[in-house]
Structure 1
């Protein structure tokens, strides 16, 4: 096994400076040391390496061939240390590092992907690893340290009193009404949720989207009749296009309708409901520079969606 402890970086730096400065006195001045300290360090280095490093040349000293050989190898070490120092500085400034994000399905294309694209331009040293996961899994992963940041609906996020996590509000995502193209109110000047109390509604049989749809309709004064049940937006919008019913669709999902010309998206009036999207990190991790960069990018994308 090689004896790496004999390769003393500080002493090698002194030897390198001596080659540049030419004299022990000039070397001491450049390194803010005394001449005797420089001489002692180089003597110790020669003993550690087992080769002579200096030879007298009048009032000056000359590096031996062994010293030049040592420095040729040391230069590669110094170069790598410079790179390590630059990388560490970038990491500390939030310009480098990997951030692992767990996010629910509609948040990935609407929030996460645009944020990753923006980071790739502004902060190319930050790598984002995305994992699609629903809220329960995302927070399990976050608590276990398998992701650094989790996105979910606020209703599914841990309580603000949970000491493990810090919640960061991102977006009040408005819910739009999806109507078949031939619906009598598709071209109306304005629509209210209450106008559709007698309609057949399409939403999931259980889970957060069922709760959100029922709560929005009940706040508008009626209980929705569930004509069909579906959890995915592709299926929901296909049924709306076929005239099988109407549905509430979050703006984040409706911006990617896959070009369905048979679906009309209408903004609701004063009773427009919203769903709230939040990010969560392990408590204290919001101060990690790279995580902060990702959160900033998500906030900017969320702000654009909100407008």
Structure 2
């Protein structure tokens, strides 16, 4: 049984990675329905929370059916991060997660996200202050290091564990790699298998099929897997991995009807949560993935991403089901 503090997550949990502009409540809803064991919010700016910025505060929205869930915060100032953790705790998640992995320039080059991997003493101090501030378990998501000359993930893990972090998710790339190249899970395995490390270690990066999930579980010995980009427009990845791990069988892919129904559910929640215009705009990134591999989908996709009319989008999605079902 994998545990974060007293939170039990099963024998081999599948986690939904925090993804900016993706892991909002509508997206999390369809992932939870399809088997995600633990999910995280989009990362939330500490400065935004302290200033009560609407966009940051809205990201604190969590719903009971999503539990267990972690709220992820990022920032470069220790005091701000401590205050933000206290604000996040009031939203009553199960976990407070710290982002030490975001590679985006405007974050990392200010010393937040993966930028803090260049200053491990500061990282340790910041984490310690957050752990002291909140009563919830604190977890961290990070990367292997800043670049290939600075892979210090074992030291990072030891420092974080020493100050009370209760689980660590590691993306198998450096900051310099961004999302390019292959994720290297060997350093993740080195952390997991080190005799001094006793907190759960979750691996992240490039898991896009049930076969790969099982292979990496067996090869690297991690406590669970965090899935990010492979779940965008394909929340079924969680149930497919679980089924394959339990039975050795591959589930058939979702039917066209199921794809349309899940997409509609996602769209409706997106509009309810973000308002018509924003909800519709934010769904645009998902359509291609929801219908990936479906022949003759392209003209429908064009209509879906050009329309700002909710009823018209619903009509097009019903058309997709009716007209492509027989193709």
Name the TM tier (shorter chain): under 0.3
Larger Rg: 1
Q: TM-score, normalised by structure 1?
A: 0.25
Q: TM-score, structure 2 length as denominator?
A: 0.24
- With a CA cutoff of 8 Å and minimum separation of 6, indicate the structure with the bigger relative contact order: 1
Q: Which has the higher strand share?
A: 1
